[in-house]
Amino acid sequence: MIEQSETITRHGAVAASPKESIQPEKTESGGELSEFLKSELTACVMFASHAATMRITGNQELTEQAIANAEKSYATLLPFLSDSTRSQGLTAEQLEEFRGQLERIRNTLDDLDKVRRIAVLAYEFWQQRGCPNGTPEQDWFRAEREIAG
């Protein structure tokens, strides 16, 4: 059985930075482009979902790896879905669907980043209070208020 960290590492090569990523040779073929975008969107969703799961389990290292991979996939997709010349060959419905999925992925990644920033700030507040036992909620809620405000 493949360990979760191996899965992320293996998929990391697929969802590399925009310069390194696998991209369709010919953008004039709507079918090729559509399949490429579907594949990259699937990878991006998988990484974002994995990051959310790892965040819940408390595995910070795997969370950060999954977020980095999701961000790389997102960066690969964005130029295709924000530039009409690069998305030629896609139907209006496909383009709308892909853009909607990309927006949901961005929201998930932004939410994960917000939770990370709250956790870091809450930890700082806890340390400032002398690392007392028993009341982590007050530091968390204070951090939430500061991040939101």
Domains of the chain by residue range: 4-109
Confidence (pLDDT) at 31: 82
Question: pLDDT digits over 61-108, tens only?
Answer: 999 999 999 999 999 999 999 998 888 888 899 999 999 999 999 999
pLDDT digits (tens, 9 = 90+) for 111-138: 999 998 999 999 999 999 999 988 889 9
Q: What CA–CA distance (Å, rounded) separates 1 from 120?
A: 33
Q: How many Cβ atoms from other residues are within 10 Å of residue 131's Cβ?
A: 8
Q: Strand, coil or helix: what is 77?
A: helix
Among left, alpha and beta (phi > 0; psi -120 to 50; other), residue 8 is alpha
**Model's pTM, two decimal places?**
0.72
- Rounded to 5 degrees, φ, ψ at 95 are -60, -45
pLDDT at 88: 85
